[in-house]
Chain A
């Protein structure tokens, strides 16, 4: 073996160790969820479940308000993604394709707003929604999430729209396409990966959000799944099998969604950040 091969083998080995360390927690969550109770509460860890059981998943799904909260989470997430994509795309086109008075101010606002930690705004938002009687209602949360995801989405989409050469649109119009037609056939397909990337971003943000939902949605019937997970911990201790099954169920939609479209994600997110 020459030095190059040895070095590459060494790097490969390091990478495998890192991979194992990074993935072990996820394996442990899923395998715990699939274990019978006595293998979970065992002083010596049981590395592989001796017999796979779905009891924990059944318990989790029978936990009060599970289906209720699934519906709440989906309502919130789908509304946020649909509305934010539309609004962000329009604003991105404006910023990328037009020079207008106030454009710089708008860009500064979009960037600056992302620097504000959202935890800081929970207090005024709570007091405001309390005043107008919108505490414990999904629309209040949806609007708040919209504001959270919009700046980043506008920012990322702007990069995509700006990267589509104006000449392409003009060429299509010279060939007889209408303005809208040129836009739909030329710009839209080229921006599509950006739309996918930002949609995923919005989906994940809204699905995972905790503190705002925790403060604003107080009744069990209105909660989202991230809040519901706390119901496995009582004064008598934590039902680890159920909790791991619940955590797996909560993580699953995001993971699936993410893995299906992940090709677009990294490229999509860097496009906004790296290119001017």
Chain B
């Protein structure tokens, strides 16, 4: 009793401390800092420092000569000034934005459809479909890109054969990458196929947490299925949807591997999404300053888009503890 009372008094005098068995150690103040220190060190050292360096590099002229000297040449905002007037960069940003919108919209809506379907099918089918989704989810992205590359091969690709066979036109010896719109269609197929399992399973997990009685109450009140979905299900799933939406945006806006591997590491200018452009400028043309500036533009666009998500998440967490 004495010890417990003692401890309680100490907790009361320091209200910001969490109660519980940890309070004795917590009283020493330093423990939480010691616990986060290693992770903080890695994150700050390996992410925050390069992020600062990226911002700094974006204000420099940094070519091969500077690379050898290890010292860039400060040019202020000239790189960004260049982007403002460069038609190629305008193309890059436009294509990246359109690509992201199309891919996020497609993967989110198909995944929602599959999640709703998972709720409505019979038991064994549900198990089979979720297992199949997990299998696709588990397939690493580079092998996945290689296998789609094979399926869309112009000579022996099974897709060309299927399309021709089922009367979609003559696709024998059809090269999908001659026309960037068709090429991006293939890339979209790969991205969406890879994204669906994670999104669908997360949405389904969220759906199972929607209280049954809420849905039934709405149905008794005469709500149609569509109304139940938009007025009951979606509001409850909002946090999950927000997370998935933000993650999808970040992934799709940063797509690099699909373009790079699919086009055998030599994509032509039509296929420059923003991360491909940034990579090409830096590591192929050795304009690290310009490449960094492009990366900064990419980060800034994402910060604006995902700001709402970050704010909401921070608020939820700080309230929870």
Q: A-side interface residues toward B, CB under 8 Å?
A: 7-8, 11-12, 14-16, 18-19, 22-23, 25-26, 28-29, 32, 40-45, 87-88, 90-91, 93-100, 102-104, 106-128, 130-131, 143-144, 146-147, 150-151, 154, 158, 162, 166, 169-170, 173, 179, 182-183, 204, 207-208, 210-211, 215, 226, 229-230, 233, 238, 240, 243-244, 246-248, 250-251, 254-255, 257-259, 262, 265-267, 269-270, 273-276
Contacts and interface: CB of A to CB of B under 8 A. Distances in A.
Contacts of A120: 54, 254, 275, 278, 295-296, 298-299
B150 A243 contact: yes
A29 B150 contact: yes
10 contacts: A22-B197, A23-B132, A25-B147, A26-B136, A28-B151, A128-B49, A128-B50, A151-B43, A211-B279, A247-B142
Contact of A107 (B135, B204, B253, B314): B314
Interface of B: 16-22, 24-26, 29, 31-33, 35-36, 38-40, 42-51, 53-54, 57, 62, 67, 70, 114, 117-118, 120-122, 125-126, 128-129, 132-144, 146-151, 153, 155-156, 158, 161, 193, 196-197, 201-202, 204-206, 209, 239-240, 243, 246, 250, 253-254, 256-257, 260-261, 264-265, 275, 278-279, 282-283, 288, 291-292, 295-296, 298-299, 302-303, 306, 309-310, 313-314, 316-321
A257 B129 CA distance: 19
A171 to B, nearest CB: 10
A233 B263 CA distance: 11
Contact of B43 (A45, A94, A110, A275): A110
A115 to B, nearest CB: 5
Helix, strand, loop or mixed for chain A's interface?
helix
Given A45-B158, A125-B50, A112 B33 contact: no
A87 B20 CA distance: 22
B317 A107 contact: yes
A104 B318 contact: yes
A90 B133 contact: no
A140 B36 CA distance: 22
Contact of A90 (B16, B38, B50, B246): B38
Given A22-B132, A240-B153, A207 B140 contact: yes
B48 to A, nearest CB: 7
A121 B53 CA distance: 9
A170 B21 contact: yes
Given A11-B117, A18-B129, 11 more contacts: A25-B144, A95-B36, A103-B32, A117-B302, A119-B256, A143-B46, A150-B39, A179-B22, A240-B153, A266-B201, A273-B243
A173 B49 CA distance: 43
A115 B250 CA distance: 7
Helix, strand, loop or mixed for chain B's interface?
helix
B256 A211 contact: yes
A61 B160 CA distance: 30
B134 A258 contact: yes
Contacts of B309: 115
A22 B193 contact: yes
B36 A266 contact: no
Contacts of A102: 33
Given A15-B129, A22-B196, A91 B36 contact: yes
B319 A90 contact: no
Contact of A233 (B117, B132, B264): B264
A162 B62 CA distance: 47
A126 to B, nearest CB: 8
Given A99-B16, A119-B278, A107 B142 contact: no
B145 to A, nearest CB: 9
Given A25-B193, A29-B143, A262-B134, A131 B70 contact: yes
Given A106-B36, A123-B57, A98 B26 contact: yes
Contacts of B314: 104, 107-108, 111
A122 B295 CA distance: 9
Contact of B136 (A22, A98, A114, A115): A22
Contact of A124 (B53, B118, B143, B205): B53
A119 B96 CA distance: 14
Contacts of A45: 158, 161
Contacts of B295: 119-121, 123
A124 B54 contact: yes
A250 B42 contact: no
A107 B318 contact: yes
